Structure 1
Amino acid sequence: MKSNRVFIAWLRWPIYVRIAIIILLLIILFGHLITFVEPQQFSNVFEGVWWALITVSSVGYGDFVPKTALGKTVGMLLILIGAAFVTAYFATMATAAFSKQQRYAEGKVNYRGKGHMILIGWNEKSNKLMRTLQAADSNKTIVLIDETLKEGPLMENIHFIRGPAADDATLQKANIEEAEIVFITADQHKSEISADMQSVLTLLAVKGLNPSVYCVVEILTEKQKKNAERAGANQIISTADLLKTA
């Protein structure tokens, strides 16, 4: 039962970590083995481990070479077994790097920084606002939240989070608790009333998670301005004034 738990715990480790451990064990094992088989060529374990490392990595300096048939057999076994694991290790690392890059582009990677700006909604005016903010402070990270984009824009210091901005889980991925300022833009694909209602709902979600964050909200109709104020908006602006906030 205990061995089963250990095996399950082992399987829970990242695969590249498991492969790296196997490679390390193979190097140590064959390093000791070659020292035992050919003591004349390998005077100590360190030389054996060095030879095993160079052999399994296919570098082959040639400073230590087995001379006997048994020693060469050990070398062949190491190449056959070790090379497979080394190839698998680098293939796994490449796959993991590509997967992480893809997840980042698709907005699935949480933001861990502090003191950042959050921009909610992607459209032409938010694109211009983003560039204006970057021009004002190029070192400040902007976290863009949008559920319509499949991949985030390729811009410096932009972290993309895909999802509905009124959802707590999405805001927490953007690390709303540590944000300095939030810009909420109106959804251009909805009617003015629907867009304003969505903006107020998003504002309520933001203030619910971080009451002290400064919120700038774009409101399109006069009727919804009071609701935005009640929801905790620090600044209410129109579309024409949106780009002047930076």
Structure 2
Amino acid sequence: MIIFHIRRLYFKIAKLNNWILLLSTLCLVAFSSVFVHAIEPKEFPTVFDGLWWTLTTMSTVGYGDYAPKTTEGRIYAMFLFVVGIGLLGVIIGKFLDLFSVMRNRRERGLLDYKGTNHIIIIGWSQKAYFAIREILSRNSKHKIVLVDEIESNPCSENGVVYVQGPPALDETLLRANITQAKAVLIFSDDKIQRSTLADGKTLLIATTVERLNSSAHSTAEILDESHLKNFTAVHVDSYILSQQSISKMAVEKIGL
């Protein structure tokens, strides 16, 4: 019966707001440090000694260098065993959950990129992969942000940050910190079979990039040379028409 009530108590504690939980734990530690010093000044000469005992008890380390001798002190120690250890365990569990959630959001490209002077690569494909490798082979310190609509980061290269979302939308590019980027590479969407539609999507993305950051060096891949005239109104620094060595050419276009 007692175990049942303790479990119910832990479940209620786990549902508390994180800040309330943290504040409650700090208050418990502070109160316990002062209280045990007050009721057993011989065993705990200073408040710091009480703090040391409280933390070693709550963390289940229990060095044994300090221990309450009076009945009151031992009763409070039993209370601290039940409540304090459980409270600390819940906090540790919540922090681990938070790290797990953050890692999952990072892998899914749901976090905003805060860096500056980076290179944005739009559109994941084998060409984009080779472009990333080409950039990093020239300077491994380059910061790269990959933008695509895939559910999770498709690139295994270290240092490549993924941002998920439609690349033609302001919201997606702003999450990739487009305003602080130094270069943008726009690759044609391989999933679109018709060159007219693929180049149309590239044009839409290039227009958004130009509007948000006209100073960034932009390079766009175009499948059909006859579509070049449609890009005259958009300030794109360079175009790539050839399918051969396209990744290397794209990197060379931005002057790396």
For the criterion TM > 0.5, the same-fold answer is yes
Cα deviation for residue 54 of structure 1 reads 1.4
Tell me if 1:145 matches 2:147. Answer: yes
Partner residue of 1:206 out of 205, 209, 217: 209
Q: Percent identity?
A: 30
Point out where structure 1 has 5 or more consecutive residues left out of the alignment.
1-13
- The aligned residue for residue 166 of structure 1 is 168
2:225 equivalent to 1:222: yes
> What TM-score, normalized by structure 1, do the two folds share?
0.90
Q: Of residues 169, 175, 178 in structure 1, which corresponds to 2:177?
A: 175
Paired position in structure 1 for 2:29: 27
Quick one: distance in 2 between partners of 1:185 and 1:44?
Answer: 67
Contact 2:112–2:176, Cα closer than 8 Å, also in 1: yes
* Alignment correspondent of 2:4: none
Deviations 1:146-195 (A, max 9, x none): 01343332211100011110000000010000001000001111110000
Shift of 1:227: 2.2
> Which residue pairs with 2:61 in the alignment?
59
**CA–CA distance in 1 between the matches of 2:232 and 2:150?**
27
- Residue 71 of structure 1: SS of its match in structure 2? helix
C-alpha displacement at 1:16, in angstroms? 4.1
Letter in 1 for 2:202: S
In structure 2, list runs of 5 or more residues that go unmatched: 1-15, 252-256
SS in 1 for 2:244: helix
The size of the alignment, in residue pairs, is 233
Distance 1:152 1:18 in 2: 38
Q: Is the Cα–Cα contact under 8 Å of residues 34 and 48 in structure 1 kept in the other structure?
A: yes
1:161–1:173 Cα contact (<8 Å) kept: yes
Amino acid at match of 1:216: T
Distance 1:62 1:186 in 2: 67
Partner of 1:235 in structure 2?
Answer: 238
Q: 1:145 is paired with a residue of what secondary structure?
A: strand
**Structure 1 residues 56 and 149: alpha-carbon distance in aligned structure 2, compared to 1, 3 A threshold:** closer
SS at match of 1:245: helix
